[in-house]
């Protein structure tokens, strides 16, 4: 095990090298992609749901 002191030193060296910023940016990018996918899915399912409801109403009226 590295220990607490070794972990802190490793974290400091990674942050100095620029690793901390790139990890945060990557996490934000993945979050934005997930949000975009969610918005597309919600709008697609809403459209399909509306069309499906109209189709079943039409079939119900013919029966």
pLDDT in tens, 10-28: 556 655 555 556 666 788 8
CB-hemisphere CA count at 13 Å for 56?
6
Mean of pLDDT over the chain: 78
Length of the chain counted residue by residue: 63
Tell whether pTM > 0.85. no
The 3 state secondary structure assigned to the chain is: CCCHHHHHHHHHHHHHCCHHHHHHHHHHHHHHHHHHHHHHHHHHHHHHHHHHHHHHHHHHHHC
Is pLDDT at 58 greater than 50 in this prediction? yes
Distance separating alpha carbons of residues 46 and 27, to the nearest angstrom: 29
pLDDT (mean) for 38-56: 92
Provide the pLDDT for residue 38. 95
């Amino acid at each position: 095990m590295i220990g607490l002191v070794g972990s802190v030193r490793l974290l400091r060296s990674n942050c100095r090298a620029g690793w901390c910023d790139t990890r945060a940016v990557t996490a934000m990018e993945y979050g934005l992609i997930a949000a975009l996918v969610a918005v597309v899915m919600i709008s697609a399912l809403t459209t399909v749901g509306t069309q499906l409801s109209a189709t079943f109403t039409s079939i119900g009226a013919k029966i």
